[in-house]
Amino acid sequence: MADYQTIRAGRVGAQALQIDEGLKAHMNKVYGLMSVGMLITGAAAWAISGLAMSDVPTQYQIGADRYLTDFGYAIYGSPLKWLIMFAPLIMVFAFGAVLNRISEAGAQVYFYGFAALMGLSLSSIFLVFTGYSIVQTFLVTAIAFAGLSLWGYTTKKDISGWGSFLIMGVIGLLVASIVNIFLGSPAVMFAISALGVLIFAGLTAYDTQNIKNTYIAHAQHGDAEWLGKAAIMGALNLYLDFINMFMFLLQFLGNRE
């Protein structure tokens, strides 16, 4: 009996070690995919803003010494801006359905395509805010995100109950933001930004813990394809948490041109 218990304990310990090593690799993949997505978004936003903005005087003036090119006006001064604004939202809602129908490689390409389209959508920040304040806000967001994600990964507290409240908060922010597009109220925008920072700070910790728990719950089944797609979905969730927290913080920390 003693030998059996020793053997059994050894097997359990080896299995736990295997899951622990797999979890580290899984989280590294999640953060790696997210980081590549962020780089694609940043590169696309910077490139599009450069094509859209010029120092050469034209009829499309947007500042003291800043003008839109014809390409820039086609993006920001026409109904095309609504397509650019809402296309990433449509892709996010479609991601879950697409994920079940395509391969892991296809899902990764879809994620990178979404990141590029998001960069196009966010390119206008370079026309509105100074480059220094954008970099400053990005660094503040990165530090806050790292701390919140680390806490979500290491905490022993079960925060799964936060999910429903945070998702309801996101829906409320989305509706309020759409309404405020037409109202243009600075007070409403301030309230949305303040709540947005808090909600996506909570989602960062929640999503990190959820990614960890999801892997632990399914690692024993050995479905590599499913775990690969789960890593992409986790990267998308954390990517959205970072982008949204950055955009809301930019309303407070950004210096406008």
The pLDDT tens digits for 59-114 are 666 666 777 777 777 777 777 778 888 888 888 888 878 888 888 889 999 999 99
Tell how strand 53-54 and strand 67-68 pair up. Answer: antiparallel
Q: Which residue has the tokens 């037409």?
A: 182
Reported confidence tier of residue 11, pLDDT bands at 50, 70, 90:
very low
Residue 63 has a pLDDT of 66
Residue 6 has a pLDDT of 47
The pLDDT tens digits for 189-217 are 888 889 999 999 999 999 999 999 988 88
Residue 77 has a pLDDT of 76
Residue 12 has a pLDDT of 47
Average pLDDT of the segment spanning 235-245: 96
DSSP one-letter string for 83-152? HHHHHHHHHHHHHHHHHTTS-HHHHHHHHHHHHHHHHHHHTTHHHHB-HHHHHHHHHHHHHHHHHHHHHH
Residue 221 has a pLDDT of 66
In the chain, % helix, strand, coil (3-state, to 5) comes to 85, 5, 15
**Between 104 and 256, the higher pLDDT residue:** 104
Average pLDDT of the segment spanning 228-236: 92
pTM: 0.86
Give Cα 91 to chain centroid, integer Å.
13
Is pLDDT of 144 > 50? yes
Residue 16 has a pLDDT of 53
The pLDDT tens digits for 13-56 are 445 555 678 889 999 999 999 999 999 999 999 888 877 777 66
Residue 62 has a pLDDT of 67
C-alpha count within 13 angstroms, C-beta hemisphere, residue 189? 12
Average pLDDT of the segment spanning 174-178: 88
Residues in Cβ contact with 141 at an 8 Å cutoff, skipping those fewer than 6 apart = 242, 245, 246, 249
Q: Which two tokens stand for residue 88?
A: 């990433």
Residue 56 has a pLDDT of 64
Average pLDDT of the segment spanning 161-189: 87
**Between 79 and 229, the higher pLDDT residue:** 229
Give Cα 132 to chain centroid, integer Å.
22
Residue 152 has a pLDDT of 94
Residue 92 has a pLDDT of 84
Domain boundaries, the chain: 2-253
Reported confidence tier of residue 8, pLDDT bands at 50, 70, 90:
very low
Among the listed residues 124, 138, 252, the one whose alpha carbon sits nearest the alpha carbon of residue 191: 252
Count Cβ atoms within 10 A of the Cβ of residue 97 and give its class: 0-12 exposed, 13-18 middle, 19 or more buried: exposed
